[in-house]
Amino acid sequence: MKICSLASGSSGNCIFVSSGLTKILVDAGVSGVKIEHELMEIGESIDSVDAILLTHEHIDHIKSIGVLTRKHAISLYGTKGTIDGALYGNHPVGKIPEGLLNYITPDESFMIGDILVSPFSVSHDASDPVAYCFEAGGKKIGTATDLGFFDDYIVNNLKNSQVLYIESNHDVHMLEAGIYPYALKQRVKGNKGHLSNDSCACLVTRLCNESEVNVDHVILAHLSAENNFPELAYETVNSEVKIKLAPEKRPEIHVAPRGQHSYIAEI
């Protein structure tokens, strides 16, 4: 299995997950042209994508789902709240061709090709948002972005992933001292907002300690352009890893860039 971020951040998000036989996009929050280009850059094609999974209905996650489903007849999956929000909300994506819509339920796994997809609920200011884990061939990839906090439920869902794609949105001090209005600062750091660097570090180290398999790769994602730096996110998580984990349990840590594809983590 492999995972690669094609775009990450408040300006747009898209993740590519593949078992080799089955190929999935998680979200499509940048233009279809951009997604097609980044797929080509990593040796893949939009024509081989089997499905698009939605985490929630915010525009930086749904921007091109209408175009991609209509142009390439790609199946679309999401909770009813997410799909209704995408179709009828503040940024409607237009008509989705008949037969391509698939409604999912948190905590009810399903198959796409040879990949077992397990959606689970996250706390975010959206309608029934989810994150996903992917399993095939005895390997597991865990993803979680756009969540205000984590708890045992989140940990139990992500546990035993060999690759973690985890939100490291903001540095708390940068956010508090920054230019955001007070209400927006409260939203970002609230329980329905985004995970900070410090919270991400705690989640990563807990998962590394509690998993029965080694976490080989961690990709830090959904970094804020205004309230974070890639180097700061990396150092915050890496420092915690060095303090809390034995050398043999320390994963490789990478940061997903905003405007281009990331490191490809393969297991």
The per-residue DSSP string of 205-233 comes to HHHHHH-SS---EEEEE---SSS--HHHH
Based on the fold, state whether residues 5 and 117 are members of the same structural domain. yes
Residue 221 clears pLDDT 90, i.e. is over it: yes
How does pLDDT run across 111-131, given as a tens digit for each residue?
999 999 999 999 999 999 999
Q: How many domains does the chain have?
A: 2
Please state, for a pLDDT cut of 70, what percent of the chain lies above it. 100
Residue 127 lies in a domain: no
Reported as a pLDDT band with limits 50, 70 and 90, residue 10 is confident
Residue 78 lies in a domain: yes
102 alpha-carbon distance from chain centroid: 19
How does pLDDT run across 141-151, given as a tens digit for each residue?
999 999 999 99
Residue 137 lies in a domain: no
Residue 21 clears pLDDT 90, i.e. is over it: yes
Rounded to whole angstroms, the Cα distance separating 228 from 222 reads 10
- 95's CB contacts (< 8 A; 6+ apart) are 66, 70
Based on the fold, state whether residues 167 and 241 are members of the same structural domain. yes
Based on the fold, state whether residues 12 and 55 are members of the same structural domain. yes
SS3 category, 197? helix
Based on the fold, state whether residues 71 and 187 are members of the same structural domain. no
Residue 98 clears pLDDT 90, i.e. is over it: no
Q: What average pLDDT does this structure show over 39-67?
A: 97
pLDDT for the residue 105? 98
Based on the fold, state whether residues 22 and 116 are members of the same structural domain. yes
- 85's CB contacts (< 8 A; 6+ apart) are 56, 57, 126, 127
Based on the fold, state whether residues 188 and 254 are members of the same structural domain. yes
Rounded to whole angstroms, the Cα distance separating 259 from 185 reads 24
pLDDT for the residue 259? 86
Query: Which domain does 197 fall in, by range?
Result: 147-258
Rounded to whole angstroms, the Cα distance separating 262 from 239 reads 22
